[in-house]
Amino acid sequence: MPSDALHPLPDKGLAHDHVRLCDSGTLARVPKQSQLGLAAAENLAYQAACFARAAESGHAPRLHYTLAPGDGLPMGALIVEAIDGRPLSLPDDLQAMAECLASIHALPLPPGDVRAPLKDPPDLLGDTFTEVLGQAGYIAGAELHPDAEAQIREELRSAGTTLARAARPPRSLIAFDAHPGNYLVRPDGRVILVDLEKARYGAAGFDLAHASLYTSTTWDVNSHAVLGPGQVADFYRVWLDAVPAELAAATEPWLWPLRRIMWLWSVTWCAKWRVKSRQATETGGEKNGSTDNWSAKLSDDALIRHVAGRVADYLDPETIAHIRADWQPSAAATARTG
């Protein structure tokens, strides 16, 4: 394809470049790194499975083909359906976002022996909390305010009560990267989830939390919004009404406990990013041989400044205190009663 047929899109993410392929109706997703730490070919196969399976919902782009890693494309590329649409406008598009997620979560669960290569951990909560604890190892080096660190560590301890339960939430296909910046709204009003690199079989409550937490709704400039408790409760209620009754009933008791764990995943990721991006700058991380690479040289300066600003906000003790109020008894009661 001639170079004048390639139209790079603005750099909005830490993990991929995106290139529109002329008038073909397709888009190249070119990995900068693997946030799951996968080797190039393995990462490509994982993402291909993410798109292929989520597309069955009608709310994700179709996968056309992949380009193997090679010269000029060290991580390869995925060629997917290009979605023409606008960013989410919150809170107006909350219902459509909930319906998008519901369509993915309600997909039939395939037999266990064909779920690979997607993650399908025996313990849905333990696996995610293991990720949280791994990221929490960066807290000590992230130069946090003492109060911020104390609050995060208190929440880590509190989350242990959820992990100690014998019961577990139901298993569904989930995105695990459901923040509002990852959707586009087509002209017909249908919301499409366009970023699926971390999809797995897990608990739908993680997606619902990641779609509506402050650390998610204020992440992307184009969909930036601060939601109130009533708006979050309405979002959850739309999802509960949109999925099969059995899935709704089994998921509802887990909504607020998983909100806490998803926030812990997000805030410990911030600590990890702060430490690893600094280390990459000091060591020339773009040549570190790892596919989990946080070098600022992989992204535009404006994007790195934006991420640094968001991370500073999310690690601020006042912001943390405000977010923690989400899962206090009064907030949880509001969500249950809608």
**Dist CA 71 CA 32 (whole Å):** 14
Residues 6 or more apart whose CB falls under 8 angstroms from that of 305 comprise none
Asked if 198 contacts 59 with a C-beta cutoff of 8 angstroms, the reply is no
**Dist CA 198 CA 267 (whole Å):** 17
pTM of the model: 0.92
Query: What residues pair up with 334 in beta bridges, in sequence order?
Result: none
Q: Which CATH class is domain 94-337?
A: alpha beta
Query: What residues pair up with 185 in beta bridges, in sequence order?
Result: 86, 191
- What sign for the dihedral angle of Cα 153, 218, 60, 31? negative
Residue 289 structure tokens: 């041989």
Identify the CA nearest to 297 among candidates 306, 309, 284, 288: 284
DSSP 59: S
**Dist CA 118 CA 16 (whole Å):** 19
Q: Give the tens place of pLDDT for each residue, 315-333.
A: 999 999 999 998 875 444 4
pLDDT for 276 equals 93
pLDDT for 298 equals 61
pLDDT for 336 equals 45
Relative to beta strand 191-193, strand 183-185 is antiparallel
Asked if 54 contacts 199 with a C-beta cutoff of 8 angstroms, the reply is yes
CA angle 283, 285, 291 (to 5 degrees): 150
Q: Which residues of the chain carry a pLDDT beneath 70? A: 1-5, 11, 13-14, 284-299, 329-338
pLDDT for 202 equals 98
What is the DSSP track for 195-245? Answer: --TT-EEE-HHHHHHHHHSHHHHTTSGGG-----HHHHHHHHHHHHHHS-H
Domain ranges of the chain: 3-81, 94-337
Phi and psi at residue 309, in whole multiples of 5°? Answer: -65, -40
Q: How many CB atoms lie within 10 A of CB 135?
A: 21
Please report where in the chains the tokens 């041989």 appear, as a residue.
289
Give the rounded distance of the alpha carbon of 328 from its chain centre.
Answer: 24
Residue 330 structure tokens: 């009064």
Indicate the helix (H) or strand (E) that contains 318: helix 317-324
pLDDT for 333 equals 47
CATH of 3-81, picked from 2.60.120, 3.30.200, 3.40.50, 2.60.40, is: 3.30.200
Task: Verify cis geometry, omega within 30 degrees of 0, for the bond prior to 117.
Answer: yes
Residue 282 structure tokens: 């000091």
**Dist CA 233 CA 37 (whole Å):** 35
Find the helix packing angle between 146-163 and 317-324, rounded to 10°: 30
pLDDT for 7 equals 77
